Amino acid sequence: MSNKNWDLIIQNKSSLFRLDLHEVWRYRDLLRMYVKRDIITFYKQTILGPMWFFIQPIMTTIMFMFVFGGIAGISTDGVPQAVFYLAGLVCWNYFADCLTKCSDTFNANQQIFGKVYFPRLIVPFSIVISNMVKMGIQLVLFLVVYAYYFIVLGTFEINWTIVLFPVLLLMLASLGLGFGLVISSLTTKYRDLRFLITFGIQLWMYATPVIYPLSVMKQNYPDKIWVIVANPLTAIIETFKYGFTGVGVFEWNYLLYSFVMSIAVLLLGIIVFNRVQKNFMDVI
């Protein structure tokens, strides 16, 4: 038998931690195609098209201002309600979208996974990147509203922690991707989890300082504040708000905890994903 120099060798992975990022880079054209598909299909066959990227956070912010700021009278630490709620929604929407879509990776792509070989991490990576584009658009909306209060009304004092935004973004991506990979791997065997995701994410939002400031919880429930701080998203969203408004709670130990948790969750997601992808077609 003659020797041949193969362009690609498909073999079983021996290491659970193996990412094969060089292989993902080799398939970067496929990654680019998936990102483009995710963005286009979001508003395909809709009347307003990309305007939905703006409409969703605007309508949600108005509802929060009416219900939580008006009827419930929940404090925003003196920050204008529009800025306060938009700041929380920009971060939360990105995390929630990454988690929701990544958690359906195996079920949504079982047909193509069973027919064509390519690095399976391409799909969840494309979700994280495409949602980053969506977050960038919503961030522009937030900056427009923020600029009005900052320039016209002189409401805020920008804090130096604003430079941590790239780190916060990577932490949100890691948490969304990690939790999504874990849930997606589990749903190949336990389908009931698919029905709990939407409900669970809604409850999770109320356990995160999106509609209320952490300072209120520390003041009213000092003995139970650890429950909110144990949520890795708490420090991320609070730091984001603190950087832009100079108001809120910023503590390095809280942020360090969230950073460690984001790495741990991402590693856990990779381990479970690499373990399940070897034989998920036999299960699903």
Per-residue confidence of the chain (284 residues) as pLDDT tens digits? 445 666 655 555 545 556 566 777 787 888 888 888 877 776 666 666 677 778 888 999 999 999 988 888 888 888 889 999 999 999 999 999 999 988 887 777 777 776 777 778 888 888 999 899 889 989 999 999 999 888 877 777 778 888 999 999 999 999 999 999 888 888 877 776 777 887 888 889 988 999 998 888 888 877 878 888 999 999 999 999 999 988 888 889 999 999 999 999 999 998 888 777 766 555 55
Q: Say if residues 16 and 274 touch (Cβ distance below 8 Å).
A: yes
Domain boundaries, the chain: 21-283
Provide the 10 A C-beta neighbour count for residue 20: 15
Angle of the 52-64 helix axis to the 81-102 helix axis, nearest 10 = 120
Cα distance between residue 127 and residue 162, in whole Å:
25
CA distance 75 to 245: 15
What is the DSSP-derived secondary structure letter of residue 158? -
Instruction: Count CB neighbours of 111 within 10 A.
Output: 8
Contacts 24+ apart (CB under 8 A), 268-272: 268/178, 268/182, 269/177, 269/178, 269/179, 269/180, 269/181, 269/182, 269/185, 270/16, 270/17, 270/19, 270/178, 270/181, 271/16, 271/17, 272/181, 272/182, 272/185, 272/186
Q: What angle do CA 150, 254, 128 make, to 5 degrees?
A: 70
Residue position matching structure tokens 């079920």:
107
Residue 68 tokens, joined: 């939580």
d(CA 241, CA 138): 15
